[in-house]
Structure 1
């Protein structure tokens, strides 16, 4: 690493163990080719890809930060919390994630039934073809199937027509609570980071309550620069980080080549005046 240049840090992406398409080691190779110095794999509610990812990352000369993205429900919406630098062997974290995954299977079957009623046949089996881990079948896998079948122009079109909140194929599920997710991450020695806040559909008052709750529960960071944010939102959430005293995180939220909005390591640097979440790790 060149100590005179800012580190290229990417602390949010997904492999085929959850809803990405690349195996953990292949994802590590892509991150390294793209100049990433510090990298984390943060699969949804799943830790099983971290051993492979860590081995590959270290062989490629990257600093590896074990991570996970935990699904929570707050004010009737799904909110994601990224746990960084977690102990993958921690029983509290493992048990919590096991409980979340158990609810995903029933949700996927109900989604398939609703899509069938909309004329989308064979969606459960079709989505399974895209899932490296059948226990983590998600909306993303269904969307890929519908794009393959020519029913949607692209992934966003599938969510806009069928899979987004309130759409015909959407199935609401109660994930862990925000407090549970943060407590599991803290028990595993990690830092809890609120993922891509710009994606949530809350009022300003609700956002204020979310940030207050998250901080009081022990949340320490917020994603500022992410592939899920527009450039104007980088500035917006940099201001939020300063206001609440959050550490700032940076991550592509990469899922697949040609599908994700931004590639691994391709985000701009954090805005000035922020303390990076990785400040004492590297």
Structure 2
């Protein structure tokens, strides 16, 4: 997978300003390339964007040395515009590794650390946080965060959350990504619904209903998450109260998640960036915790962030 790194090592040491002989302000292709999926948009000069690709060809499905051919295919079908890649494409599992920018990380620092495997093809780095034994990383979320900031949808100083497989709680400091912490809430719910004794209890859709609220309130108030999860099974076997178990379990996990995030402090509204269905659940849990929240669509934020980066490459 990393053979191409050696072929183009000379390119990786160039100044980040060397974005090829491309005029990014005339339009570009933005790609959110994750572990299992990828999405791409054509972003026009005026900022308008339309989706051109949405498939399951994540980085783990690309054969060694196969990324240049994938980029060539995208350009063949959608034009020769420059390409901005974000997400796991820049990890040690992707095309080439774009090393993490240490927090506090500004947008300018992110742009300066972009890697260039080809002329006009840039890979956005992630962000890392270290303090003593505390350590965390993100890839892809940073683009959405700076997109929200670019349109003043999120505060330059304050707390924001990016719900997802690994939820991110981030303290923004003067417009830079400061300390942050990841919580494996989405992955835990997915694992519980596919393996173990709760499989048959967690197959329904999740809604912010009374059972979700009951779970969230428990998660917010107690530190017995693993024990309470087992109680879902026990209450079902003993017929103790009918319950929408999927919504309760989701509320329980998200309540515990929010409890961790609120430890970052702050008193203002919390910006939630992500899929609307997830931000709605987190907003409800935050309401129960007595905190206001603003919800920002993750796709919109990603495109705003990609555009903010491209403007600095012109």
Which one has the largest radius of gyration? 2
Q: TM-score, normalised by structure 2?
A: 0.27
- Richer in strand (by share): 2
Q: TM-score, normalized by length of structure 1? A: 0.29
